[in-house]
Chains A and B, each alone.
Chain A
Amino acid sequence: MGMTLSEKIIARAAGRTSVAPGEIVTCSIDLAMIHDSGGPRRVEPILKRLGVGVWNPDRVVLITDHYVPATDDESRRIQSITRRFAADQAITNFYDQQGICHVVLPERGHLRPGMLVVGGDSHSPTGGAFAAYMFGVGATEMAGVLATGEIWLRVPETIRIDWTGRLSRGVSAKDMMLHLCARLGMDGGRYQAIEYSGEGVRALPMQERMTLSNMAAELGAQAGLIEADETTAKYLNAAGAPVDRSADWRSDADSRVSEHHVFDASALEPQVAAPHSPANAAPVTELAGTKIDIAYIGACTGAKLEDLRMAAEVLRGRKAAQHVALICAPASLRDQEIAQAEGTLGAIVEAGARLLPNACGICAGYGEDRFGEDVVAISSTARNFKGRMGAASSKVYLGSPYTTAASAIEGRIADPRPYLLRGKA
């Protein structure tokens, strides 16, 4: 019997010819990604206590994105610990204030198909879009990885999620994920490995695929993988991480999955998730008309270059409603620069958007711009748990960048499709 993509990667990392779901194995780590919140300030004291340094500095990537910008003494202290740790441990893969880790990591060519990667952040499954087995761990476990270069894993079952057909205009990967959260629930992934496949997935550009893998976290999966193809290879070539054997990193035709779900991408409508769970998703038409105060385009889930392009498509030549604060925090500096050069960012700013730094910001509940009491917001981010993005009384609706932009214009939750049809004519 063949192996799934996840099983192949785990077997390779465990030094085995094959593995089966349920087995507990010890894997060598190909790469560990850490950020300023769960990284140096938390792992350094543990490494000191253990009397060891980082097992292999070349296999560590350190990115600052949580306490950015450092606007108070405590944040500045955290950033200075982070910089000193990079120097002390000789970590040269250090990206300081370049954007959100999940976007910066592949953009700078650190991910390749077949790698086993841990990240000190729950949206680490994002790396699965590159046919890598990437998952999130907490700071203590990360310290253990940095000390030993190893981690234990229970070999996951593979849950296949097939998307037949292609998305219609104005519908995006974010809508696919909100729909899956509603259909499968926040624990539908059962901490197993999801593999997304089908024409609807293959048709997506790389950053849209990253949104699918990113939100495997919201389904409660450990990882969310997509097999490597020409789109993957093209992105990685451009990122300076060429792959020549990407065909090796696919599930075998005779491999076994524990669940197989099939969804029709062509029939999917834009989705909006009501407070306080991504699983409260429904077609936008059911929530349209809900008045909003803030429209937020941000985070690794919702402010990559492709996300900014979607928002700009709706916003170009239009203005946000007078009572709405439109806020945009591009996910990485590089994406922001490209968006600036091609006019994407201009369209968003001219619609009235206030730009925030390339950081996790409001999505992680950090920073000065957290939502105030009783604020109603629509957000292109991944999580709308009660109190996450600000006051416990704030209400956050989740939508795609298209839907967030259309809602900003109308001042109410709105279907983006009419804007795109008109734009086309």
Chain B
Amino acid sequence: MSGRAFVFGDNIDTDALAPGRYMKGSIEELAQHCLEAVAPTFAKQVRPGDVVVAGRNFGMGSSREQAAQALKMLGVSAVIAKSFGGIFYRNALNLGLPVVVCAETDSISEGDIVGVDLACGMVTNETSGRVLTGERLPAFLLDMLADGGLVPHLEKKFARQRAS
């Protein structure tokens, strides 16, 4: 997968990703306000396939998984960051949103075309030609992502159990 990079700094929090005042309503509505406190035009400009690139501790704060769900709803194909808030990281994987830990995100600029190879944890900046090494996910998490997240993964598991 590859897409245009939207670049953010350190400590992007879940209140920025999923503002509390929109939490009551639908995920479609919430997604329109995703990151508006730090990048007011993000939700309007992002297109399916684009990637979010960030510094340290992306998704820190609340356990609200709407933070990851909003990005997925907007069509973001992966989040690449130096590090993630732990709960956000698990939520993203559970919802089928690929996340890659990569120390070299500073070398990616806004609008660069960035490709992600999840299986080997590699990030390619197609604009600059630079290949960045990210952390490879453990096999069981790659399997879960391939199934589309935790719920379809469990569906398959339960179906297997019922069949046997």
Interface residue range, chain B: 35 or more
Nearest-neighbor residue (CB-CB) of A78 within chain B = B24
Query: For A138, what are the chain B residues with a Cβ–Cβ distance below 8 Å?
Result: 63-65, 68, 87, 90-91, 94
Alpha-carbon distance A187/B140, docked complex (angstroms): 26
**Do A141 and B150 touch (CB < 8 A)?**
yes
Q: List 26 A-B contacts (CB under 8 A).
A: A24-B140, A37-B23, A46-B151, A50-B151, A50-B155, A122-B14, A122-B63, A137-B90, A138-B64, A138-B90, A138-B91, A140-B91, A140-B149, A140-B150, A144-B94, A144-B150, A147-B154, A148-B154, A187-B11, A191-B85, A365-B20, A370-B20, A386-B15, A386-B37, A387-B15, A388-B15
**Do A385 and B13 touch (CB < 8 A)?**
yes
Query: Which residues of B come within 8 Å of A, CB atoms?
Result: 11, 13-16, 19-21, 23-25, 37-38, 56-57, 60-65, 68, 83, 85-87, 89-91, 94-95, 138, 140, 149-151, 154-155, 158
A203 part of interface (Cβ distance < 8 Å):
no
A355 part of interface (Cβ distance < 8 Å):
no
Nearest-neighbor residue (CB-CB) of B62 within chain A = A122
**Do B63 and A137 touch (CB < 8 A)?**
yes
A424 part of interface (Cβ distance < 8 Å):
no
Chain A nearest CB, measured from B17 CB (Å): 11
Of the residues A49, A75, A120, A139, contact of B24 by C-beta under 8 Å:
A75
A67 part of interface (Cβ distance < 8 Å):
yes
Alpha-carbon distance A37/B24, docked complex (angstroms): 8
**Do B94 and A141 touch (CB < 8 A)?**
yes
Alpha-carbon distance A143/B152, docked complex (angstroms): 12
Query: For B11, what are the chain A residues with a Cβ–Cβ distance below 8 Å?
Result: 186-187, 277
8 tightest A-B CB contacts, nearest first: A365-B20, A191-B86, A138-B65, A138-B91, A187-B57, A388-B15, A122-B63, A136-B63
Nearest-neighbor residue (CB-CB) of A389 within chain B = B20
Q: Return the CB mask of A166-188 against B: 1 if under 8 Å, else 0.
A: 00000000000000000000110
Nearest-neighbor residue (CB-CB) of A279 within chain B = B11
CB neighbors of B among A67-124 (8 A): 67, 74-75, 78, 120-122, 124
